[in-house]
Amino acid sequence: MLVLFGPLVIGMMAGLLTCALKAQHDALSRAMACLLGICGAFAATFFGQLFGWYQPSDAASWGAAALGAAALLLIFALSWRSRAP
């Protein structure tokens, strides 16, 4: 249960932290940031376990989830900024 709950919480916290740091504060951007953070956390956790870098119970899994969430949020923010007029 903690294997699924950990990346969910870490991704959501990363998304909310991103919303707190940026200028726009509308509900859609908050929800989108949370979803992107959750997706990044789950992707990093999944691929790290797939490649055998760590087990679900390792502390590295939590760190990878945080880095994955931050990376996906950063990639999205940089790509979205370049599309803005």
**Looking at the whole model, is its pTM more than 0.85?**
no
What confidence tens digit (pLDDT) does each residue in 25-84 have?
A: 665 578 888 999 999 999 999 999 999 998 877 888 888 999 999 999 888 878 876 555
**Dihedral over alpha carbons 57, 60, 64, 65 (to 10 degrees):** 40
The pLDDT, as a whole number, for residue 85 is: 56
The pLDDT, as a whole number, for residue 68 is: 92
What confidence tens digit (pLDDT) does each residue in 2-23 have?
A: 678 888 999 999 988 888 887 6
Q: Which helix (H) or strand (E) holds 50?
A: helix 27-50
φ, ψ of residue 55 to 5 degrees: the values are: -95, 165
The pLDDT, as a whole number, for residue 2 is: 65
The pLDDT, as a whole number, for residue 73 is: 87
